[in-house]
Amino acid sequence: MNTLAALRSAFKALAANALRSVLTMLGIIIGVAAVITMIAVGRGATERVQEQMKGLGSNIMLVLPGGVSQAGVRLGAQTRQRLTEEDALAIAYEIPEVQVAAPTSRTSGQAVFGNTNWGTTIFGVTNDYLEARDWGLASGRLFDGAELSGSAKVAWVGATVARELFGDQDPVDQTVRVRGIPMKVLGVLATKGQNSMGQDQDDVIMVPISTLRNRLWGGDASSKLKRVGAISVKVREGQDMKAVEESVKDLLRQRFKVQPGGDDPFQIRNLTEILQAQEESSRVMTLLLAAVAGISLLIGGIGIMNIMLVSVTERTREIGLRMAVGARGRDILAQFLIEATTLSLIGGAIGVMLGAGATLAVGQFAGWRAAMTVDAVVLAVGFSALVGVFFGYYPARRASRLLPIAALRYE
């Protein structure tokens, strides 16, 4: 029996019991759809974390002021504002593995252009901040040395602020009032998107840190000491982040004259390491979800084996007749294997369509990112075909080993 004839015979046998065939395929359909959907959801979560890592910048750590104790109670982080711009310069110049160390401070306020106003976050930065965060300018230019040191009334605006205040106009060289102070827009920041907390990173205005300190804050005591809210440290490619973190910690402890065993008046957060841990967790969760969904495929395979055993019993006389007229054992084996594999492949195809619909539904209604990929489809369908061959082999082998005389006498 050639392959084409075996296929025709298989389809004819399956069509003769259409309802039973559909019920048999149900486990495969659900299993394939579940595998594809779970992998898509997990892949979407992983891609989201990777985007957050790109938005954050590579090889970056954040130095923050530490907590302080009052009346025996440990207060939260950043309650002791001791970091200064000089600390950032020391980190950049004394630790060779550090590419840049960018001091930043932040506040919030209203930005006004014409008749439009917008509440936003205001950062005081240097040009190094853009390098640390892998953040470019979509248009315009960087701050020059005189602007950075002279508290110049200049600013960069994020994409969200540019859209809300200027609409279709080009913001560059326009004047925007930031907390009542007129600022000349020197550039528009490239689009960054949301961070890991879901906050819009493009809803921001950046000014020279001296401008924030002396003009927006009014030159208070903290400003005179050049206090900063954080230092973004970018480590050179190929360097050990943990080793650099220890070097930064040792340097700051020396600068703050911390006694051995004393509490650090600062905190260091390795942001890249945190997001990499999240990415690994997403991968593990994807594998677990796919494994759970794969159980449905195994259950579907058991259903195929049961139905094929029933089919062999029902068609014993037919098998005996085929053998009597010259069919060989391998022909009978191939016929039943093709029937089992056909059940799996048809179920797999329906499962792919159902999985694609479920993936779209998850993204549309649940608001989760789901990324359906070709390799997930191939994996699910290929596994379903293997399930059909594996669970269909025993019934097919049993059919091929029937004795023609015994099969013809079977009632």
Per-residue pLDDT of 203-252, as tens digits, reads 999 999 999 988 888 765 555 668 899 999 998 888 888 888 889 999 99
**Which pLDDT band holds residue 121 (cuts at 50, 70, 90)?**
very high
Shortest CA distance to 185 belongs to which of 199, 215, 201, 165?
Answer: 165
**Which pLDDT band holds residue 395 (cuts at 50, 70, 90)?**
confident
Euclidean distance between CA atoms 330 and 297, whole angstroms: 27
* pLDDT tens per residue across span 281-329: 667 776 776 677 667 777 777 777 777 777 777 666 666 666 666 667 6
pLDDT at 177: 94
Q: Can you tell me the mean pLDDT for 122-133?
A: 92
**Which pLDDT band holds residue 359 (cuts at 50, 70, 90)?**
confident
Half-sphere exposure of 404 (CA within 13 A, CB side): 10
Strands, E, within 47-174: which ranges? Answer: 60-65, 69-70, 73-74, 98-113, 116-125, 137-140, 154-157
Two structure tokens written together for 290: 């796919």
Strands, E, within 148-224: which ranges? Answer: 154-157, 175-178, 181-189, 204-208
18-56 and 271-314 helices cross at what angle (nearest 10)? 170
Task: Give the residue, 34 or 130, on which the prediction is more confident.
Answer: 130
CB 35 within 8 A of CB 301: no
Report the range out of 27-41, 85-99, 325-339 with the highest average pLDDT: 85-99
Considering only CA atoms, give the Rg of the chain: 34
Euclidean distance between CA atoms 203 and 278, whole angstroms: 25
Provide, rounded to the nearest whole percent, the portion of the chain with pLDDT above 90.
Answer: 26
Return mean pLDDT, the chain.
Answer: 79
* pLDDT tens per residue across span 179-207: 989 999 999 999 987 766 667 889 999 99
